[in-house]
Homo-oligomer: A and B are copies of this chain.
Amino acid sequence: MKKLSLPRAVEIFEVGIRDGLQNESRRVSLDDKLVFARGLLAAGIRRFELGAFVRADLVPQMADTENLYEAVHQGELVLGKARAFALVPNIRGLERAIDSGAKGIAVFTAATESFAKRNIGMSISESLAVFKDVVAEAKRAKIEVRGYVSTAFGCPFEGKVSPSKPIKVVEKLIALGILEISIGDTIGVATPKGVTEVFTPLLRSAKKTRFAGHFHDTRGTALANALRSIELGVTILDASAGGLGGCPFAPGATGNLATEDLVYMLDGMGIKTGVNLERLAETSLAFSQKMVRPITSRYLQAFASGKVRNA
């Protein structure tokens, strides 16, 4: 095999508090979210999802997003050099983000029409039209914008997704001036072949845009896909502390790639993340115990046994 050129550092974009908790049935108190967020920051997380400015009646788990930003404002959650992101579906959401003092937002659409319609109630092109104003307004307010493309590899309604579909949507997000785009395997069907097919053309054509890999572990392939994506040159990976989250389309299945498993692998490969694995694991373990759910992070399962340090 030819020699791979791996990056020296990979940034972990932590999505547990939003993407993770949004897919958990158990509700979490504001205080518990704050303790969790403080732990993640202490472990070295620098960019993370804190909430979503969406309709509380539709996504009750995110109803306290204003309160979380108020805690930042009051100094109860000290961000320091870290940056919190919140999902924003439209101009109304952006106004709430601006009012809350958010410095980072994420807009989200999909690679497939059926998923876009079911998830955000708009067609893909309608969503892009909405984002146009959101992105322009956010830029004026000096807010960093992240774009998400869901169902980039497979769709619960349309099945296998051709690489051309996420690539087309990405091109339109780039045209709106979005500088970071997260490519999501929403239902966890991707394998390294699909990862290669989607990321290779994106990385080749990208000038200023950075790409993140957002992998779900529904079929066990998330970390292998993360490995392949960094082999291709991706340097940002979304992950969820403790493996929080699930898959609404496959009840009982695993959700997001667990941050611990990812950091363990990258540490072992000598790739810097800035995240302290032991502090992270302690934080995730304490939070998982509050959630009264089985731990899905493999690393955390081993950590919980108290035997990991011996190895």
Interface residues of A, Cβ cutoff 8 Å to B: 1-5, 154-156, 159, 187-194, 217-221, 223-224, 226-228, 231-233, 247, 249-254, 258, 260-261, 264-265, 267-270, 294, 297-299, 301-302, 304-305, 307-308, 310-311
Q: Which 3 A-B pairs have the closest CB atoms?
A: A191-B268, A220-B261, A220-B298
Oligomeric state, in number of copies?
A: 2
The answer to whether A302 and B224 touch (CB under 8 A), given A268-B194, A311-B159, is no
Closest-by-CB residue of B relative to A308 is B250
State whether A252 touches B305 (Cβ < 8 A). Answer: yes
State whether B156 touches A264 (Cβ < 8 A). Answer: no
State whether B250 touches A305 (Cβ < 8 A). Answer: yes
State whether A1 touches B232 (Cβ < 8 A). Answer: yes
Closest-by-CB residue of B relative to A3 is B2
Taking each of A224, A228, A250, which has the highest tally of chain B beta carbons within 10 Å of its own beta carbon?
A224
Contacting residues, chain B, for A156 (C-beta < 8 A): 307, 310-311
State whether A154 touches B253 (Cβ < 8 A). Answer: no
Contacting residues, chain B, for A218 (C-beta < 8 A): 298, 302
Contacting residues, chain B, for A189 (C-beta < 8 A): 268, 311
State whether B298 touches A217 (Cβ < 8 A). Answer: yes
Report A107 CB to chain B, min CB distance, Å: 25
Closest-by-CB residue of B relative to A270 is B193
Report A204 CB to chain B, min CB distance, Å: 11
Contact partner of A231 (CB less than 8 A), chosen from B1, B220, B297, B308, is B1
Contacting residues, chain B, for A191 (C-beta < 8 A): 264-265, 267-269
State whether A302 touches B1 (Cβ < 8 A). Answer: no
Report A245 CB to chain B, min CB distance, Å: 13
Bound-state CA distance A249–B306 (Å) is 10
Contacting residues, chain B, for A247 (C-beta < 8 A): 302
Report A9 CB to chain B, min CB distance, Å: 15
Report A274 CB to chain B, min CB distance, Å: 18
State whether B299 touches A220 (Cβ < 8 A). Answer: yes
Contacting residues, chain B, for A265 (C-beta < 8 A): 191-192, 219-221, 224
Contacting residues, chain B, for A305 (C-beta < 8 A): 250-253
Contact partner of A219 (CB less than 8 A), chosen from B5, B187, B299, is B299
Q: List 7 A-B contacts (CB under 8 A).
A: A156-B311, A221-B265, A227-B227, A249-B310, A251-B305, A253-B298, A254-B301
Bound-state CA distance A307–B219 (Å) is 11
